[in-house]
Amino acid sequence: MTVDALRLYFRNLSEILQSGKGSKEILDDLAAIDRGLTPFATLPLKSFADFLEKAQNYDPNAVIGKKPPRVSTPRVPKVTVDIEGIAATVKHLFDEAARPDTTIESIDEGLKVLDTLKKAQLIVVAKAIKAEKGLSSKKEPDVREIIKNAVRGMWGSARRVKQ
């Protein structure tokens, strides 16, 4: 049962009093009660009773039938990526890959810097190691893998030549 049923009760009571020539003051009070209950019409009676109990104790959080105020989340500052610095780092990894003391683990660790870059940023990095050909038609993950494979390939080439 909802508060609307309670409103119906007061409206019926008002009609009965009107037919019996009830006082205007009582009829106005019943109309005011009906208007006051309107915002709560769809609430179950128990929820409305809980609200009234909170209101009796004056709980400022006793608002019912309204959404709680929206809590705004703090804006995260936009982080700018030093793409030229990242490109230089990857170029350094590429150049160092041929050194005998360079490990594939150190290369893979250094290449993690590519994981958060967007396609346009990855193309800048690819240009630094001269691996940009045909990348415009590739998807972002493919561009990332092409760059990583180019650096790993340089490491592998240096190992094959030494043998």
pLDDT tens digits, one per residue of 122-149:
999 999 998 888 888 889 999 999 999 9
Residue 64 lies in a domain: no
Neighbours of 53 (CB within 10 A): 11
How many structural domains comprise the chain?
Answer: 2
Domain hosting 126: range is 83-162
Q: Is residue 95 in a domain?
A: yes
Whether 113 and 154 share a structural domain: yes
16-39 pLDDT, tens digit per residue, is 877 777 678 888 888 888 888 888
Residues 87 and 33 in one domain: no
Spatial distance between the Cα atoms of 124 and 156, rounded to a whole number of angstroms = 24
At 25 the pLDDT is: 85
Determine phi and psi for 80, rounding to 5 degrees.
-90, 140
